[in-house]
Amino acid sequence: MPGARLIILGRQGAGKGTQCVRLSRHFVVPHISTGDMLRSAVRERTPLGIVAGEIMDAGGLVDDETMVGIVKERLAKPDAMSRGYILDGFPRTVGQAEALAGITEDLPIHVVIDLDVPREIVVDRISSRRVCQDCGTNYTSSGDDPSPWICDVCGGDVTQRGDDTPEAVNRRLDLYESQTAPLIEFYGGRGQLAVVNGVGHPDHVFKRLTDVVESRR
Ligand code: ADP
């Protein structure tokens, strides 16, 4: 049976984005990434994009009210209502999680997964991360690639994200520990949390994720 309502938490660089894309194909549900939504607002220079772009480049967090508004609107669309969704990058604060619990009262989340990768490992991964500007596919740089290079999936430009500098990465990881790690307790206390080891071959991590989802749906 396709369809599921999932939240994937985890440090930046834990491989969340790539695994979420795979999960969304596997369970045939939309992948809702607040980071992707904000980056597209930045590209289109919408009023939200102009404000969010500066915050993102500094490694900060966009305010809860704005984020909750964006997600509430997205979850009300027919695809998410009928099939479910994978939320990637939201919630990021306990305030966002509380608002989400209100929004999903009638159709609750099946499982919240913490994709667990230690901080030392993610710092290395993020510095070699490259992303397609158009379709969001993630790549790993070997260190001497052309910039930009061309995306295998859509032909777009693959570059390093503006917020993947060492300073912004460290700020984001600090924010993760202070703002997002408390969500693990929040969802653990509600019996909704599953911790999945995110270290290892991506195929093995994917299998661990699908096993957890199958067991909770
Ligand atoms: P990462 O790949 O670093 O986990 P994302 O792609 O999810 O990051 O998000 C990039 C940036 O967008 C964040 O660093 C933050 O500035 C902003 N952002 C995304 N989602 C949220 C959210 N739920 N609340 C606040 N800010 C957010």
Average pLDDT, the chain: 93
130: CATH: 2.20.28
Boundaries of domain holding 135: 119-164
94: CATH: 3.40.50.300
Q: Are residues 112 and 145 in the same domain?
A: no
Is 175 a domain residue? no
For residue 39, give the nearest of 25, 23, 56, 21 by alpha carbon. Answer: 56
Is 27 a domain residue? yes
Residue 206 C-alpha to ligand 1 middle, in angstroms?
22
Number of domains in the chain: 2
Percent of the chain with pLDDT over 90: 75
Residues 151-210: tens digit of each pLDDT: 999 999 999 988 888 788 888 899 899 999 999 999 999 999 999 999 999 999 999 999
Please answer whether residues 18 and 202 qualify as being in contact, where contact means their C-beta atoms are separated by less than 8 angstroms.
yes
Ligand 1 environment, Cβ below 6 A: 12, 34-35, 38, 55-56, 60-62, 67, 89-90, 92, 96, 163, 172
CA distance 45 to 27: 33
Q: Are residues 125 and 45 in the same domain?
A: no
Nearest-atom number in ligand 1 for the CA of 56 is: 16
Is 169 a domain residue? no
Tell me what pLDDT residue 144 has: 84
For residue 53, give the nearest of 201, 163, 199 by alpha carbon. Answer: 163
Return the active site residues.
16, 92, 129, 161, 172
Q: Which tokens go with 24?
A: 């969304």
Tell me what pLDDT residue 174 has: 93
Residue 34 C-alpha to ligand 1 middle, in angstroms?
6
Is 171 a domain residue? no
- The answer to whether residue 48 scores a pLDDT higher than 70 is yes
Is 174 a domain residue? no
Q: Are residues 81 and 185 in the same domain?
A: yes
Residue 49, Cβ neighbours under 10 Å: how many? 17
Q: Are residues 113 and 196 in the same domain?
A: yes
Q: Are residues 107 and 145 in the same domain?
A: no
Distances in whole angstroms, Cα of residue 210 to Cα of each of 14, 194, 213 = 16, 12, 5
pTM summary value: 0.86
Tell me what pLDDT residue 120 has: 85
Residues 106-122: tens digit of each pLDDT: 999 999 999 999 988 88
